[in-house]
Structure 1
Amino acid sequence: MDVTAVKENRVRNTLRQLLLGLVALSGTAAAQEEASLVELSQYYGFLPVEIFKVEYRSHSLVPGDFNHDGKTDLAIVDDSHSRIDLLLQRASAPAKLEELAKVNDIRSHWRFEKKKIPVDREVPSLSAADLNGDGRTDLVYFGNPDRLVVRYQPASGEWTEKKEFRLADVQAAAWTVATGDLNNDALADITVLGKKSTYVLYQKKDGTLSTPVEFRNTGADLGLGMVQDLNGDGRNDLFYLAKDQDERVLSGRLQDERGQLGPEIQFGVKNPRGVALYDIDGQGGAEVLAIDNQTNRLRVLKLKNPQPRAGEPATRLVQYGIGSEGRDIGEAAIGDIDGDMLADIAITVPGGAQVMVFRQQRGSGLDLGTAYPSYLGAQQIRIADVDTLPGNEVVVLSNKENTIGIAKFAEGRLGFPETLATSGTIVAFELADLDGDNHPEIVAVFQEKAGRGPAKYWIGAVKRTVAGEWEKFKFAGDKTELEIKPEDTPQRLMAVDVNQDGRKDFLCILNGKAPLLLLTNDAGVPEPVTVSGGVQLGDVEPGTIEFGQLQEPALLIAQGSFARHVRLDEDRRWQVKDQFNSTETNAKLKGVATLDLDGQPGNELVLVDSGLNKLRIFRREKDSYLPWREIDIGKFPFKSTAVADLNNDRRDDLILIGQGRFGVLYSGQSDFELDELASFESSQKDAYLMDLAAGDLNGDGRTDIALMETENHTVQVVTRAHDGSLKLALSFKIFEEKSFNDRSRRGGVQPREGIITDVTGDGRADLVLLAHDRILLYPQDTGQAQSPPPMKELGAAGARP
């Protein structure tokens, strides 16, 4: 062994023995920690740092073999010069080193040969993969404002071959482009996180890319896209951060056995500072490595597959996006649209002149939705069999076009609505069987304005005859119009049995006033009635009213801090049968539903608390309903509830309709959850952990985690002990800086990026950092004595940025 190496080992062992002696004498936790660090640090080492000049605006370090020589190279975006730089790995130093432009310049290390690829757009995001099946690693980047560009690696020469795709509404941010196999065909695909939709371009067997497939987002701001197998089933999943109002939540879409991405799952981990995916435990599936923003701790999280939990509801919503025009959705209707005896969901999108249909697939739940053309401004929607033909129809009302129509599902799609002939302005409608023939009539509220005088309102209905013609429904005798006098403009019409006499009555929801009640008499005619005295319903919104089932059919109304079960008595006064209170000050109950969530006889009562972002579940205990469970729903933009069996398990599920999305709480299944395997808290004073990278930094076959700490500009290497805990193995300073009183003039968030990959060709992973205008390469030490570098290289190898 080299004499110098022998001396270094002796010094290291002497220091170790001295520190262990101090531990024995002092017994303090600090000394024990220092001794533990020394014990671990002897298994880690780096050769002298190698420095490479880039630019202050350089970003997006991406590893890959970019000249097909079997060695790992680096790609980095240089927006200041409108190019992508390829740093191609060399086996040895060239005969002639690069000339320095200025006297005080620092020469880049010889390790990489720089190759420049010009671009004609600003590039916020870069990724790499074999995107045409030729075995060579290609580049893909997003170019502002709307261009996805694939640059194919040539067999030799320049990177001139490229393919462009126009993608609208993509945020100019790093890591919005990711690559990986997203349909389990062993070919790399491209995913781009857009503002309203996530785009996936699937690679085809002929080496071409498909047209972009859109997956509708549940939020407007997604970022940090990654493709990895999260649940250990051997199929890659899509992982990202989704913004839920002012919070960023770990989210993802899992790939199913058909090779299709599913709905969005939010995992409840909010506002992480840095995130990476890496298989830490070696048991299949990548773990989520996240720096917690509140505690400044590193957390290692593993996705846990759903486990049956008898008598317990799911604890997290599965969410579905509505689409680019879905920020202002209309209403949702539940029913079998395609005739397969499974419940589907139809949602109107007024601004997009569309109806979104989410069809239930047997054995796999809802699909991700298909948009069908409909009326401009379509708002209200219902699903039922309103004619004499087999199957249900979709009835749609557009106030903007003053049109009501009926759409039928045929030949694999929902057709454009057939418009019904009407007179007057239609303001609201409902479906109700007025004549007992098991086919509901279309009941509507009509308006007619007479100059400056008050508007006239009436109730009318239409039904389809056996001959297939639509005709006006006759209430009593030949009367086809029932005049009503609401106190304000009607907004919605709801059919409910308010007095439990077996007949459908109607609540006409008004703008800013208590609902107008129409009670159906013995002749089947809805009559306006005045409710006086006793409890009043007050100003209610459509989403706050639900006709459900408790011990009996129940009309339920959410009203601020409580919900009431009400019934109209024989004297036509509202009576409160029961009241369900939230005792918390900031509670705002906006919705209510009933369904079986515990698998036991009888329904539970669910209150939607938009003030505290919770579902409050009440269960019947003896003779009363008591609080049972609370489920966090995040800042869900709630509009209304619905109940239906959406996974064909013969149990109803809870549906929350919101702006731009809807969520499902499945009653018969549990959730995917992130379980914490380990955590680490830095003992360094004022430490601020910002980002991280994972890989084997000492060649022992175990994964290490390099934490980038930006307050003191250090790297802390953490390893997983045999008991699964995380231990600090090594900590070192990256660069020094002047001490400024003004924190804004300090080094900033540096290092700003880091990866762990073998860029020296020795089979050992190295640490690569990006700080200021330098790439810093820390080659992993093999543990063998090294010959002194040539004098001409010392300036580059030993310098600090």
Structure 2
Amino acid sequence: MFKTSFPVGKPSSVKMFGYVHILSRSIILNLILGVISLSGLSSPLSAQYKDAIDRLGDFGFSGMQVFRLGSQGGPWHPADVDGDGDLDLCIWLDDRGELVQFLRDPNSDGFIHEEAGNTLVDPAGWTRAEISVGAQVESIDSADLDGDGHLDLVLSCPGANRVKILWGAEGNQRFRSSDNIRLERIARGSQTLRIETQKDKLPILRVLSETGVYEIEQIGRNNSPKIKTLVGSTTGSRVLIHEDVTEDGFQDLITISGSNSDRPYLVRVRPSAGLNSWLPESLLQLESGRFLHQAPTLNASTNKASTNKAMGPTWFFSERDRPVLKGYRIESTPSKTALSSPEVISLSADGLGNGRVAKGDLDGDGDIDLTVLDTKNSRLIPIFNEDGQLIPGKPSPTLQKPKDLIIHEGKVLVTSKSDGGIGICELEGKGFSFPVPGETDSALDLISVAGFAPEPSGKEGSLALLTLNKKGRNSYSLRLGEVEFPLDSVEREPSAVRLFPGSSGDSIVVVEVPFESPILFALRENKFLPIVSPATLESGGRIQSLAPGKLLVTKENRGRIVLVEDLTARVLRQIDTPGTSAKLVGATYLNTNSSDPSDSATLAFIDEGSSMIHLANESEVLESLEGPFKKIRQVLNLDVDGDGNDELVLLKSGSLLLLRRMGSNLILQETFSRRARNENSRITAMAHGDLNGDGILDLVAVDGARGELEILAGTADSFIPALGFPVFEKKTFSGGGRGVEPRAVLVEDLDGDGLADIGLLIHDRLVIYPQENMNTQEDSR
């Protein structure tokens, strides 16, 4: 069945580049029966395995075509670049700085070239053309970007901070003209470019970057493109894929990270909201794995009893430390915990500094919105609540070195010690106007603002801003409207003032002092009345309101519920969180519409030490959730969907996390697993295609550690081993080093006979194994 043909040339100058072990059909059958027996499958075999075994003898290749590249090649891209209906190959040669086009040409006798004293001949039926690029190419894609009927090439050049467009044309003018689109911090890797074609519209080019995804529209030869940035939640992404994983008819964005810092959330899905708009990212947990390939959905589900809805293709990963290949499908499943997995609303890849978030109705639609203060870049970012989805607006500049913010009557108040004290911003489209100075006494040195409280003048409905100010050396005061209350007993400068509702219609004022216990006051009418607080109200704790007259103080591994009544504060109870490494950085109360709140989680403790959220009632911890809960800046509750149950909102260093009540989760459900026979095996590349003409997709897996190729035959819902062989010499080569070989594999119809062939980039060669055509050759069976 396997007839090895060599490239045309002198025998002395042509080496046999690889060799193939041809396994007889009986040997293959015995091997597969042994594998199935060891796997514990019952006998007799199911029909699908009988069919698969009967097809194992069909895998064969009519020889091998070897192309001399002159140096290590890659990345590569198959496309009909000359528009003649045949599939061509574009390969980047970094050592030469050239993009080589291998063009299908039945009239060609091959390409003859001399190098290092050797005369080498590429196979007949192909011609080559070179393009000098002038910058290292990491990824290649193609589409008719300008709608002129000619295919254009897109090259990603991260080292030069640009994407290069080679414009297609007729004949010799093809790729003679080009344009550059300058982009910062483009991600490296061969899967960082994606082009979405649109009916009656020009395509959209998406480029993965270290800060997110660039969306580039209106690309043409005579116009400037429109560039928009989708901020990402990680800087380690190296793979960008378009796929409708939610099956709503729109292409979603999937990014896959290779960074250890992103574990165990290597896969992130950004669902489409239609019309080129996007919902928050979902984090999918994957403990370990190197992404290899995505294959279309198979004919049936491997888990017949599963009630979950399998979506999209199978995603293949290889484990880094074991010779194990695994396949996953993305499924939507109801959350098994009180809070679903976090949705990530990315705001800034560079971080928000000591960011703050406040809630209030910005647009007057009755829904509570959010506003994030980016202290690092001095910006305000509105987050609009649109039908239960949090959608970021336009970041807007604000006061320099901002410290805090408050939302009041649709306006945002921003404080800054160095830039005017208080600035007032109003909504302007999807962003904010530049701050207008507030009416404050310029002689006061503003430290902090707490919020609005009834004005001491007694006018009904009139509110005034409560502020903490520095009057002089070791002299501080609280100010509410025209009323000022000195803090004579404070020796160390306070850091903040907080305002909470009291149990008798009054307000509780908390003055936080570094390294000292907080100072409590009751604000009644126009007086600040001291509240006697116990020593158990520790210094350095974070204070939140549970209910009118009830506070929650968290520190280290514990939370204390404090009751304030009759100008006295006392600790009701203490809730200890589990774990020896617990470090609480915040907590909040979660309202619930449950008929018995004591049975529901009404408290959420954020444990940064264990990267967990502990859900509790006012007596004990009920459950703990593991997740990406590090670098939390602020915690608050928000009823996003208006069902009476609060969701949990966490402000991180560069994003918002939203955890919904009993929502649904996207998960990676394992559907395929195979362990190699050799412990030193590592699958490093994969491709899929129908390699024996039976209409079922098969897999080609490259064992880069051993230099072998393996074919996994497709069944109705899985893959089983069918054929394997070594594919290259063990020694090094000119222009390359000792590394993973082969480096890349693809399955395409490369000879125009309608059958899928295998292509490999290996050492300094391109090797093609054409699939044997049973209609034109004698069946060896």
Q: Which bracket does the TM-score occupy, shorter chain normalised?
A: 0.7 to 0.9
Q: Residue 677 in 1 paired to residue 700 in 2?
A: no
What corresponds to 1:567 in structure 2? 563
What corresponds to 2:143 in structure 1? 129
1:712-737, Cα deviation, whole Å (9 max, x unpaired)? 11122223433x23311222212241
Q: Could you say if the C-alpha distance between residues 129 and 97 of structure 1 is closer, same or farther in structure 2, counting changes exceeding 3 Å?
A: closer
After superposition, residues 401-412 of structure 1 pair within 5 angstroms as: 401-410=419-428
Q: Displacement, 1:569?
A: 5.6
Q: Could you say if the C-alpha distance between residues 267 and 296 of structure 1 is closer, same or farther in structure 2, counting changes exceeding 3 Å?
A: farther
What corresponds to 2:396 in structure 1? 372
Q: Displacement, 1:223?
A: 1.6
Q: Is the 8 A contact 1:597 1:667 kept in 2?
A: no
* Residue 606 of structure 2, aligned match among 587, 605, 608: 608
What corresponds to 1:213 in structure 2? 228
SS in 2 for 1:783: coil
Q: Displacement, 1:250?
A: 0.7
* Residue 588 of structure 1, aligned match among 580, 583, 599: 583
* Residue 711 of structure 1, aligned match among 690, 705, 716: 705
Q: Residue 400 in 1 paired to residue 404 in 2?
A: no
Q: Is the 8 A contact 1:753 1:770 kept in 2?
A: yes
What corresponds to 1:737 in structure 2? 730
Q: Is the 8 A contact 1:373 1:416 kept in 2?
A: yes
* Residue 347 of structure 1, aligned match among 360, 369, 372: 372
Q: Is the 8 A contact 1:316 1:631 kept in 2?
A: no
SS in 1 for 2:413: strand
Q: Residue 654 in 1 paired to residue 652 in 2?
A: no
Q: Is the 8 A contact 2:514 2:539 kept in 1?
A: no
Q: Residue 80 in 1 paired to residue 98 in 2?
A: no
What corresponds to 2:16 in structure 1? none
Q: Displacement, 1:650?
A: 4.5
1:374-419, Cα deviation, whole Å (9 max, x unpaired)? 111122111122xxxxxx2111112332521111224554212211
* Residue 666 of structure 1, aligned match among 660, 679, 693: 660
* Residue 336 of structure 1, aligned match among 358, 361, 379: 361
Q: Residue 493 in 1 paired to residue 510 in 2?
A: no
Q: Displacement, 1:587?
A: 2.0
SS in 1 for 2:210: coil
SS in 1 for 2:278: coil
Q: Displacement, 1:495?
A: 0.9
Q: Displacement, 1:237?
A: 1.6
Q: Residue 245 in 1 paired to residue 241 in 2?
A: no
Distance 2:770 2:462 in 1: 77
Structure 2: stretches of 5+ with no match in the other structure: 5-21, 301-310
Distance 2:267 2:593 in 1: 28
Identity %: 20
* Residue 759 of structure 1, aligned match among 728, 733, 750: 750
Q: Residue 531 in 1 paired to residue 537 in 2?
A: no
What corresponds to 1:547 in structure 2? 545
Distance 2:657 2:339 in 1: 12
- Letter of the 1:249 partner, please give it: L
- Letter of the 1:627 partner, please give it: L
Distance 2:636 2:255 in 1: 29
* Residue 313 of structure 1, aligned match among 326, 330, 338: 338
What corresponds to 2:303 in structure 1? none
Q: Displacement, 1:278?
A: 2.5
Q: Is the 8 A contact 1:427 1:446 kept in 2?
A: yes
Distance 2:3 2:253 in 1: 52
Distance 2:351 2:2 in 1: 70
Q: Residue 458 in 1 paired to residue 458 in 2?
A: no
Q: Could you say if the C-alpha distance between residues 691 and 3 of structure 1 is closer, same or farther in structure 2, counting changes exceeding 3 Å?
A: closer
Q: Could you say if the C-alpha distance between residues 587 and 115 of structure 1 is closer, same or farther in structure 2, counting changes exceeding 3 Å?
A: same
What corresponds to 1:798 in structure 2? none
Distance 1:650 1:193 in 2: 39
Structure 1: stretches of 5+ with no match in the other structure: 5-9, 386-391, 462-472, 740-744, 788-801
What TM-score do the two structures reach when normalised by structure 1? Answer: 0.83
SS in 2 for 1:285: strand
* Residue 109 of structure 1, aligned match among 107, 112, 123: 123
Distance 2:322 2:155 in 1: 34
SS in 2 for 1:233: coil
Q: Could you say if the C-alpha distance between residues 613 and 244 of structure 1 is closer, same or farther in structure 2, counting changes exceeding 3 Å?
A: farther
Q: Displacement, 1:226?
A: 1.6
Distance 1:709 1:609 in 2: 42
Q: Residue 287 in 1 paired to residue 314 in 2?
A: yes
Q: Is the 8 A contact 2:562 2:569 kept in 1?
A: no
Q: Could you say if the C-alpha distance between residues 142 and 495 of structure 1 is closer, same or farther in structure 2, counting changes exceeding 3 Å?
A: same
Distance 1:771 1:567 in 2: 72
Distance 1:259 1:185 in 2: 15
Distance 1:523 1:763 in 2: 87
Larger mean CA deviation between 665-674 and 606-615 belongs to 665-674
Q: Residue 579 in 1 paired to residue 579 in 2?
A: no
SS in 1 for 2:226: coil
Larger mean CA deviation between 374-383 and 55-64 belongs to 55-64
Larger mean CA deviation between 267-276 and 97-106 belongs to 97-106
Q: Could you say if the C-alpha distance between residues 97 and 409 of structure 1 is closer, same or farther in structure 2, counting changes exceeding 3 Å?
A: closer
After superposition, residues 476-515 of structure 1 pair within 5 angstroms as: 480-497=484-501, 500-515=503-518
Distance 1:505 1:30 in 2: 68
Q: Displacement, 1:306?
A: 5.6
Q: Displacement, 1:356?
A: 0.7
* Residue 482 of structure 2, aligned match among 474, 481, 488: 474
Q: Is the 8 A contact 1:429 1:493 kept in 2?
A: yes
Q: Could you say if the C-alpha distance between residues 203 and 42 of structure 1 is closer, same or farther in structure 2, counting changes exceeding 3 Å?
A: farther
Q: Residue 426 in 1 paired to residue 446 in 2?
A: yes
What corresponds to 1:277 in structure 2? 294
- Letter of the 2:437 partner, please give it: T
Number of residue-to-residue matches in the alignment: 732
- Letter of the 1:459 partner, please give it: L
- Letter of the 2:556 partner, please give it: G
Root mean square deviation of aligned Cα: 3.6
Distance 1:689 1:439 in 2: 70
Q: Displacement, 1:213?
A: 0.7
What corresponds to 1:358 in structure 2? 383
Distance 2:770 2:200 in 1: 36
Q: Displacement, 1:30?
A: 11
Distance 1:28 1:268 in 2: 30
Larger mean CA deviation between 244-253 and 399-408 belongs to 244-253
* Residue 627 of structure 2, aligned match among 625, 633, 638: 633
SS in 1 for 2:633: strand
Distance 2:39 2:614 in 1: 45
Distance 2:430 2:741 in 1: 55
Q: Displacement, 1:646?
A: 2.4
Q: Is the 8 A contact 2:87 2:104 kept in 1?
A: yes
Q: Is the 8 A contact 2:497 2:510 kept in 1?
A: yes
What corresponds to 1:70 in structure 2? 85
Distance 1:3 1:171 in 2: 43
- Letter of the 1:536 partner, please give it: L
Distance 1:427 1:780 in 2: 75
